[in-house]
Structure 1
Amino acid sequence: MTANKYKNLCIGVTGLNANDNPGPGVAVIRALKEGLGIGVKIIGLSYESLEPGIYMHYLVNKTYQVPYPTAGTESLIERICQIHEKEGLDMIIPNFDAELYNFIKIAPQLKKMGIHTLLPAIDQLLMRDKVNLAAFGRQKNFYVPADHQLTTEADLKAAAEELKFPLVIKGKFYGATVAYTFTAALNAFHQIGSAWGYPVIAQQYIKGTEINIAALGDGKGNNISIVPMRKLYITDKGKAWAGVTIEDPALIKLANSFAKATKWNGPYEMEIMRDGEDRLFILEINPRFPAWIYLAAAAGQNQPVSLVKMAMGEEIIPFNEYEAGKLFIRHSWDHVVDISEFQQFSARGEL
């Protein structure tokens, strides 16, 4: 099918935050607009009033506030029904780890409403969860750093004795801090635990080169698209602020091995560390598009567009090449809007 057949689609997109720890939503929308045409209608689905994507009217046609994932599936489906009655949604692309469980649970209801999704199964989501990643690696013969699950300070002391310093303290969904002392580790444990809940994960620190892979699985053990990127500049939150696409058969092989082992359905990101012995350690598997996904589109593999076409039932021929040496540099931009727009969204939950 040509892009013209999709030009009038109405697509809901989450993840509209664009701060120093950006969500993927704005990048996903850029890729969709570029690949499907400006006629595609984008409905933002936002959790907070200060997510910048809400006010980017050149990308987002209208935005609705949706309940936090902790509110559960009933609240979510009720809100989506309200939005669907007004907008006629054709598809929803969730972009946050924490919301995926709810969207997977309501996917059958969405399908009956005519709203398409392309999401992993619950068991796929759980197998790559941070608390299960080390066991997954042992089972499937992937290199994964050793880790400990932490619920108490005693757990942290035991982890520090085994893993040694530095070690990485991670939240269940978000947040990662490299701690070089027990005091720093303890502070991170309490801070991340209070923000994202317990258990917190203490992970073995692997020194090396950080690489990310954006991929799109077909649910049958294959990848439709794979684009590796080497981080060039990393923020204090561990996020890539600049990166470049690279050509490396070992990375392609790793992503294909993951897809084969899991039969992953939909987008995912592999966070990799290549150590001094050229081993590829899987640090995380993020079950959605990364915030840098527009780079993949710019390099020749528009994964968000492929996702839409797959969700609509089109057979997609896997990409077999991309342009290495494509560089992205993230930047800050003061987006100025009238306070009345913020007040309207805060009061009415839509803009």
Structure 2
Amino acid sequence: MSAPAPAPIRRPLTVALTGLNATDSPGAGVAVARALLESPDYEVRLIGLSYEALEPGIYLRDLFQKTYQLPYPAAGSAALLERLTYIQTQEELDVIIPNFDAELPLFSRLEPQLRNLGIRLLVPTLPQLDARDKLNLSAFGEAHGLPVPTTQAVHHLGGLVAAATVLGWPLVLKGRWYEAQVVHTLAQAEAAFAQLQARWGLPLLAQRFVTGQELNVAGLADGRGHCLSAVAMRKLTITDKGKAWAGITIEDDSLTELAHQFARVSQWRGSFELELLRTAAGELFILEINPRFPAWVYLTAAAGHNQPAALLHLALGEPVPPFDEVAIGKMFMRCAWDLVADYSDFQQIAGLGEL
């Protein structure tokens, strides 16, 4: 009897992640971490990067070996670079995967400096981020034949009347970065305007309301026009904030073709998510294009497309062939449980910025 083949040697790699807010409106950090630990090629050591001391991922010590707090994106790129330079002296990071929309422009701007520190990224360029921004998505879709509902920027309260004249009631009012509310009257729109402005600033976005089946595609592109992976998912349960709480992988060529079309026309670098809606009449609309992994990205690993693990290869300049077929019928269901931690740990991350 021949001896069993030796297990392949997995190369050590230290990777830092943001997006540790695993709450009812979760970031992608914990899901990305789980996928990375299943990488067939790398023995990944994970470092958490947080913005607040109560982000639950900080306390998942079986995932993250250590966590550091970052300055808020509003502090600017110089403050972020200073903090990351210190972290690099402590941890010798190989790759950082940012998972928040608001921080991505800073990381994109700092990519050359971080590369000089020995840290690799695979993030969209500033022009790519700007092109698919909520403010520009309608024009981007029109220019490239992508179906996007009519959208208008609302810079002040008085702009709601003009938007409703074009879009009709009801309409969807969206925050600059996150959150959306469906409003049916001017009074509701004015109340939502005040709430969204307080949270996300101006301008807000008013979008034509369409209803139907909510769908998503998680994608990974190489920056040269090729979509290497596109995993389509149908939402099964949706929270009051519009987030998927359960979903299932599906086979739908029209969805994956949209992902390939987006990667081709934008020359997209890295991860992305298409938020889609199909009406009862069969019309398909792109509601948003998110420039990072979705919070449900661990489902891609379960479906045979471990997108976070593949991104490591791309970030390091290594070739990644297109993935094969997606496993259809893989489901995810989020659950809530009480994560117990010591108060001393909270004091340490809140006071010293490290845990």
TM-score higher than 0.5 = yes
**In the TM superposition, what is the alpha-carbon distance from 1:163 to its structure 2 partner?**
1.2
Letter in 1 for 2:33: I
Identity between Structure 1 and Structure 2 (%): 52
Letter in 2 for 1:139: A
Letter in 2 for 1:164: G
Q: Distance in 1 between matches of 2:188 and 2:55?
A: 30
Letter in 2 for 1:134: S
Give 1:332's aligned residue.
Answer: 336
Select the residue among 150, 153, 162 that pairs with 2:154.
150
Asked whether the equivalents of residues 4 and 36 of structure 1 are also in contact (C-alpha less than 8 Å), the reply is no
RMSD: 1.3
Q: 3-state SS of the aligned residue for 1:203?
A: strand
Matched residue count: 349
CA deviations over 1:256-300 (Å, ceiling 9, x no partner) = 111111111100000001112322111000000000000011011
Distance 1:280 1:196, change over 3 A: same
Letter in 2 for 1:16: L
Q: 3-state SS of the aligned residue for 1:98?
A: coil
TM-score by length of structure 1 reads: 0.97
What are the residue-to-residue correspondences of 1:83-122 with 2, within 5 Å?
A: 83-122=87-126
Letter in 1 for 2:124: P
Select the residue among 232, 237, 240 that pairs with 2:236.
232
Give 2:170's aligned residue.
Answer: 166
Letter in 2 for 1:141: G
Give 1:188's aligned residue.
Answer: 192
Q: 3-state SS of the aligned residue for 2:39?
A: helix
Select the residue among 14, 22, 46 that pairs with 1:42.
46
Q: 3-state SS of the aligned residue for 2:304?
A: coil
Asked whether the equivalents of residues 10 and 41 of structure 2 are also in contact (C-alpha less than 8 Å), the reply is no
Asked whether the equivalents of residues 137 and 143 of structure 1 are also in contact (C-alpha less than 8 Å), the reply is yes
**In the TM superposition, what is the alpha-carbon distance from 1:39 to its structure 2 partner?**
4.1
Asked whether the equivalents of residues 3 and 35 of structure 1 are also in contact (C-alpha less than 8 Å), the reply is no
Distance 1:186 1:329, change over 3 A: same
**In the TM superposition, what is the alpha-carbon distance from 1:5 to its structure 2 partner?**
4.1
Select the residue among 125, 135, 138 that pairs with 1:131.
135
Letter in 1 for 2:352: R
Select the residue among 243, 249, 255 that pairs with 1:251.
255
Q: Distance in 2 between matches of 1:114 and 1:254?
A: 35
CA deviations over 1:215-243 (Å, ceiling 9, x no partner) = 00111111111000011111111100011
TM-score by length of structure 2 reads: 0.96
What are the residue-to-residue correspondences of 1:1-351 with 2, within 5 Å?
A: 4-6=9-11, 8-36=12-40, 39-351=43-355
Between 90-99 and 178-187, report the one with greater CA deviation. Answer: 178-187
**In the TM superposition, what is the alpha-carbon distance from 1:35 to its structure 2 partner?**
1.7
Q: Distance in 1 between matches of 2:340 and 2:40?
A: 28
Q: Distance in 1 between matches of 2:251 and 2:109?
A: 37
Q: 3-state SS of the aligned residue for 2:38?
A: helix
**In the TM superposition, what is the alpha-carbon distance from 1:156 to its structure 2 partner?**
0.6
Asked whether the equivalents of residues 22 and 56 of structure 2 are also in contact (C-alpha less than 8 Å), the reply is yes
**In the TM superposition, what is the alpha-carbon distance from 1:36 to its structure 2 partner?**
4.7
Letter in 1 for 2:57: G
Asked whether the equivalents of residues 168 and 179 of structure 1 are also in contact (C-alpha less than 8 Å), the reply is yes
Letter in 2 for 1:160: A
**In the TM superposition, what is the alpha-carbon distance from 1:121 to its structure 2 partner?**
0.9
**In the TM superposition, what is the alpha-carbon distance from 1:186 to its structure 2 partner?**
1.4
Q: Which has the larger share of helix?
A: 1
Q: Distance in 1 between matches of 2:182 and 2:249?
A: 25
Letter in 2 for 1:262: S
Asked whether the equivalents of residues 208 and 275 of structure 1 are also in contact (C-alpha less than 8 Å), the reply is yes
Unpaired segments ≥5 residues, structure 1: none
Asked whether the equivalents of residues 222 and 259 of structure 1 are also in contact (C-alpha less than 8 Å), the reply is yes
Distance 1:285 1:81, change over 3 A: same
Asked whether the equivalents of residues 10 and 43 of structure 2 are also in contact (C-alpha less than 8 Å), the reply is no
Distance 1:114 1:282, change over 3 A: same
Distance 1:37 1:5, change over 3 A: closer
Letter in 2 for 1:166: P
**In the TM superposition, what is the alpha-carbon distance from 1:56 to its structure 2 partner?**
0.3
